[in-house]
Structure 1
Amino acid sequence: MSAAAERRTAVFAALRSLLLEHPWGEVTLEAVARDAGVSRQTLYNSFGSRYGLAQAYTVDLADALCAVIAATLAEHPDDPRTGLREGLRHYLEIAAEDPLIQRVRTGDAHHDLVRIVTVDAGPLLVRVAERLEAAARTAWPAADPDAVRTLARALARLALSYVTMPPEYDDSPAAIAAGLSVLLAPKLM
């Protein structure tokens, strides 16, 4: 791992740790820099602002979640329903534990955080949809490409909706994932 990648990982870990203890409004770039072992100027050079840091953290989290889903889909090359069910279950469980997502869900988020996953979410949606489409094409090369593209775009939007607003019912992540996989998987092949 390069020095820049190590710094970035340390910064995101520091931000995550601070968010576990404090609301977003109390998390300063100075505190993140201190806990990450970098200068505040390094944060400004890398992210530009607190909002830029939150955006980068969100993209990093989305990439990590897409990687989990891609690995899960790859584990089930002959069974899209199971791949989707398990990938979605992992996504929902991991996302529910992230402190930034928890802040958004509970209404304890600064408007900057909410903007990242609502009005400013276009680039994030495109990125997630592209990553999911690539993962599905790799896992299921025989799948209809148009169906895979549609699935990826729908999953990206569904995933983001679960970040901003958790289900209004008491189903577990496993039950939600099972229901969505039954609905979405049959159209793939």
Structure 2
Amino acid sequence: MSTAAERRTAVFAALRALLLERPWGDVTLEAVARDAGVSRQTLYNAFGSRYGLAQAYTVHLADALCALIAETLAAHADDPRTGLEEGLRLFLETAAEDPLIDRVRAGDAHHDLVRIVTTDAGPLLVRVAERLEAAARAAWPHREPASLPQLARTLARLALSYVTMPPEYDDSPAAIAAGLSEVLAPG
């Protein structure tokens, strides 16, 4: 592999594939390195530890989810409620398919993984809120700019709560997204 970005992509893909096969406790850096086609030392240099790898993967996943939401908001720039509803639906569906999130939700996650999205989640929340605010500003340039930071922070916290604990009711992601967007969409 030639670039650092390509190596990171391969590492995250390998980690995801391994998590589909086995619990987090059984995933080793050696297995991730082997499956990604990199050396174990490369992983240590890039991430420092399994916890560092999990943090980086979480940020990577959050960035990908934020990009999906940004695309959806932009595609529905003339209809903020629909944009928000579709973005939330995509987020909920995509998050539910991720094996790391599934491990956290199932209680099959090492306490380090749970910390990333609970007690150590501050930097992740800030990053997600900044990305969502930028997406909202780009999609809705004529909206009241003072309200967008609070909307973005609220969405970031809601998203993280749905990652750590799925809804206690049986509503579909589409129904949940519709309800949330009705309450949160800027008018």
C-alpha deviation, 1:145, in angstroms = 1.2
The structural deviation recorded for 1:147 is 1.3
Give the equivalent residue in structure 1 for 2:100: 100
Distance 1:147 1:159 in 2: 18
Once the two structures are aligned, what percentage of the paired residues are identical? 83
1:174 maps to which residue? 174
Partner of 2:143: 143
Instruction: Give 1:12's aligned residue.
Output: 12
Q: 1-side partners of 2:115 and 2:146: how far apart? A: 30
Residue 109 of structure 1 aligns to a residue whose secondary structure is coil
Partner residue, 1:76: 76
Q: Provide Cα deviations, 1:57-99, integer angstroms capped at 9, x if missing partner.
A: 0000000000000000000111100000000000000000000
1:48 has 2:43 as partner: no
What amino acid is aligned across from residue 44 of structure 1 in structure 2? Y
Task: State how far apart, in whole Å, the 1-side matches of 2:116 and 2:36 are.
Answer: 23
Map of 1:161 onto structure 2: 161
CA deviations on 1:101-120 (whole Å, 9 max, x unpaired) are: 00000100000100000000
Partner of 1:66: 66
Tell me the TM-score normalised to structure 2 length.
Answer: 0.98
Q: Secondary structure at the match of 2:61?
A: helix
The whole-number CA distance in structure 1 between the counterparts of 2:110 and 2:94 is 22
Q: Which residue of 2 aligns with 1:129?
A: 129
Q: What is the rounded CA distance, in whole Å, between the counterparts of 1:60 and 1:92 in structure 2?
A: 16
| Structure 1 unpaired stretches of 5+ | none
Distance 2:146 2:80 in 1: 15
Name which of structure 1's ranges 24-33 and 145-154 shifts more when overlaid on structure 2: 145-154
C-alpha distance in structure 2 between counterparts of 1:6 and 1:179, whole Å: 39
Paired residues, number = 187
Q: 2-side partners of 1:2 and 1:152: how far apart?
A: 36
For residues 164-184 of structure 1, the C-alpha deviation after alignment (integer angstroms, 9 at most, x for no partner) is 000000000000000000001
RMSD: 1.0
Deviation at 1:2, TM superposition (A): 6.4
Q: Helix, strand or coil for the counterpart of 1:167?
A: coil
Give CA deviations for 1:16-75 in whole Å, capped at 9, x if unaligned: 000000100000000000000000000000000000000000000000000000000000
Rounded to whole Å, the distance in 1 between the matches of 2:109 and 2:73 is 32
TM-score calculated relative to the size of structure 1: 0.97
Change (3 A) 1:138 1:2: farther
Structure 2: distance between partners of 1:142 and 1:64: 26
